[in-house]
Amino acid sequence: MAKNNFKLQDSNNDPGFGYLFPGQGSQIVGMGVQLYEMSAAARTVFHEVDMALGRPLTEVVFNGPEEALRDTVNAQPAIMAVSLAAARAMEEQLGLENMPSPSYMAGHSLGEFTALAMAEVLDVPVAVKLVQERSRLMQDVCEQQPGGMAALFGIDLHTVGEVVRETGTYISNVNTSEQVVISGDVIAIAHAIDLAYARGARRAVPLKVSGAFHSALMEPAKKGLMEAVEKLEFHDPKVPIIGNCTGEPLTVADDVKREVIGQISSCVQWKNSIDYMLRSGISQFIEIGPGKVLASMVKRIDRGASSVSIGAVSYTHLTLPTNREV
């Protein structure tokens, strides 16, 4: 396997860190531009991704248009590229001796594939090409059966379960105890939003996606993804990855394979993933990539936890706190 150039220290040396990687929806035109301009290590990542895909994805990431970046086939590899670029820039700036060593990694949906590269399960070109194929398969399903998703706030999981049963929708992400994402066809999602409000939801926000991700409606994409995964040589992760489907650590290659195949049509158990790390002694979470959504979720799950975002929009964010901060 080709070297990833990510220098992971022995995770037993510093048991308090967990790395988090964002998923689709965190993209924004221009993300990573300052990383590219100011970090040679980040530039290497962007060039590596463009070469692996055989197209100038970086042009879309930096210049848009927004509609193009929002397309699943662009958004997924773009977020992965920016997250990996931020990680390499962080390493470049801090130096290997000061690089925080994670005991666990977790990625939200697409972010799980970023974790594969970071944990050296796959090298970067192979991982980004797998993400490209995953996004193509998902886009094909979206075109054949358009769907939607909505985030529900201030409503408990039991009540959300009643809502999805009565509307034919699905629970796709359990992000916190008061934030659950549902998916389904467009009409069903509209009905589910109305019913959620009637059952006490504080807020319901339709998401800017074209499909019912992490639901049974994505089953048609699973066969193609399985075929793509089985062609690749997966390696045991250098750092345990907390699986989206189970909220438990993945430590061997075969388990990682099953996870990345299954999660395309399964619920992302994000709260369980963070809870597992908290119970295991993780006290500091570092979100690496565009946005600050995951760091914010950590604080909603446990106000006593420390979380920081290593941003992709501003290079100046590539410093780690010495004190507890959000």
Residues annotated as part of the active site: 109, 214
Those residues whose C-beta lies under 8 Å from the C-beta of residue 220, and which sit 6 or more positions away, are 140, 141, 144
CA dist 111 and 309 (Å) reads 14
Angle between helices 111-118 and 72-94 (to 10 degrees): 40
DSSP 149-197: EEEEES--HHHHHHHHHHHT-EEEEEEETTEEEEEEEHHHHHHHHHHHH
Q: Determine which helix (DSSP H) or strand (DSSP E) holds 254, and give its type and residue range.
A: helix 253-262
Q: Are 65 and 119 in contact (CB under 8 A)?
A: no
